[in-house]
């Protein structure tokens, strides 16, 4: 299975407020921007024009990888409120 195929097996109920908040001031001193490589849902993207990481929480798979690779503590990471977020199905 290709990693992108996982999106055929999930659905979302998106909360109006993001469950992960990025501290862009902290990101400004980040040399590796590991979140942009590690997130399987490609929620993080370096924006050259704005000089910051753009973050889109809507397609988050709630895997926690970004929290692990962000060694500067720039993320306020929470699961979505009850009933919201990603839903996985087996087939």
Q: What separation in angstroms does the CA of 54 have from each of 4, 60, 81?
A: 20, 14, 22
The residues in 69-88 that bind ligand SF4, with binding defined as CB under 6 A, are 69-70, 72, 74-75
Taking CB under 6 A as the rule, does residue 26 contact ligand SF4?
yes
Nearest to 41 by CA among 7, 76, 12: 7
Size of the site for ligand SF4 (CB under 6 A): 25
Pick the closer one to ligand SF4 by CB: 16 or 71: 71
C-alpha closest to that of 38 among 67, 16, 1:
67
Does position 65 interact with ligand SF4 (CB under 6 A)? The reply is yes
- Residue 88 near residue 10 (C-beta atoms within 8 A): yes
Considering the complex, state which of residue 14 and residue 61 has its C-beta at the smaller distance from ligand SF4: 61
Q: Which residue has the tokens 């753009």?
A: 54
Task: Give me the residues paired with residue 11 across strands.
Answer: 87
For residue 27, the minimal CB distance to ligand SF4 (Å) is: 3
Which positions touch ligand SF4 (CB under 6 A)? 20, 22, 26-27, 30, 33-35, 39-41, 43, 53, 60-66, 69-70, 72, 74-75
């Amino acid at each position: 299975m290709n990693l992108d195929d996982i999106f055929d097996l999930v659905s979302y109920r998106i909360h109006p407020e993001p469950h992960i908040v990025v501290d862009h001031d902290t990101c400004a001193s980040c040399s590796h921007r590991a979140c942009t490589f590690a997130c399987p849902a490609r929620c993080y993207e370096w924006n050259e024009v704005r000089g910051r990481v753009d973050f889109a929480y809507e397609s988050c798979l709630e895997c926690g990888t970004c929290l692990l690779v962000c060694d500067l503590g720039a993320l306020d990471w929470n699961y979505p409120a009850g009933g919201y977020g990603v839903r996985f199905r087996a087939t």
